[in-house]
């Protein structure tokens, strides 16, 4: 059994919000895994940035997982996620994090999307958060796994709520009257696209860590 402080799993992200969410999803699910010390992000182990050259969420997730696993010698998990807006034909999609031109500028991305949808009536503002999660081994085998999750809802005309990140303040999940940014973390994790994808990936991850 590795020392508790030695990383066993790297999440191929530098997004603190994603790391926090994924640690909570894994907490207590993998025997012997201390998620607070043994699940780390790419920065903690000096993993290089990966060019997201894929054209689907699945391709990008697997690219990030495989390259991070090879670079660190650790089991690696990655996700690629974004917002697919019905009237935009599925955009921003894989470009969600850089929709306004600069990667990770949540405020600018939100402002641009809301401006683009300004004249769209509420009944036509359907959208879905989409996530592909991938698992890769440092030795290249067995073959990487990918799983997909979606959370459908509708988009508001202005942000609401202080939690979450990204487009969370404008998406109200189907059946609810609060945005993802207004949900408690445990509520969001129970229904989120990322939660669905990572729970589907969990059996493969547990097997790989045993």
Catalytic residues: 80
Beta bridge partner(s), residue 9 = 39, 75
3-state helix, strand, coil in the chain (%, to 5): 40, 20, 40
Cβ 20 vs Cβ 36: under 8 Å: no
Strand order in the sheet with 171-173: 39-41, 9-11, 75-85, 126-136, 145-155, 171-173
Strand boundaries in the chain, DSSP class E: 9-11, 39-41, 75-85, 126-136, 145-155, 171-173
Q: What is the CA radius of gyration of the chain?
A: 17
Nearest-angstrom CA–CA distance, 164 and 180: 7
Q: Alpha carbon of 200 to those of 72, 113, 144, 147, 204: distances in Å? A: 24, 30, 14, 6, 8
Residue with tokens 């009536």: 121
Report the candidate in 176, 132, 136, 131 with the shortest Cα–Cα distance to residue 156. Answer: 176
């Amino acid at each position: 059994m590795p020392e508790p402080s030695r990383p066993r799993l790297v999440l191929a992200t530098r997004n603190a919000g994603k790391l926090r969410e994924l640690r909570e999803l894994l907490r207590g699910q993998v025997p012997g895994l201390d998620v607070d010390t043994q699940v780390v992000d790419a920065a903690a182990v000096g993993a290089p940035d990966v060019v997201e050259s894929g054209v689907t969420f699945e391709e990008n997730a697997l690219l990030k997982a495989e390259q991070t696993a090879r670079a660190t010698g650790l089991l690696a998990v990655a996700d690629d996620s974004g917002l697919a807006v019905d009237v935009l034909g599925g955009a921003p999609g894989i470009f969600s994090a850089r929709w306004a031109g600069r990667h990770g500028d949540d405020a600018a991305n939100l402002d641009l999307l809301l401006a683009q949808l300004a004249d769209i009536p509420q009944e036509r503002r359907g959208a879905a958060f989409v996530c592909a999660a991938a698992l890769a081994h440092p030795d290249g085998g067995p073959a990487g796994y990918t799983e997909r999750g979606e959370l459908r809802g509708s988009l508001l005309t202005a942000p609401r709520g202080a939690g979450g990140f990204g487009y969370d303040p404008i998406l109200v999940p189907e059946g609810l009257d609060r945005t993802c940014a207004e949900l408690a973390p445990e509520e969001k994790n129970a229904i989120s696209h990322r939660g669905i994808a990572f729970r589907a990936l969990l059996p493969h991850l547990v097997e790989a860590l045993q």
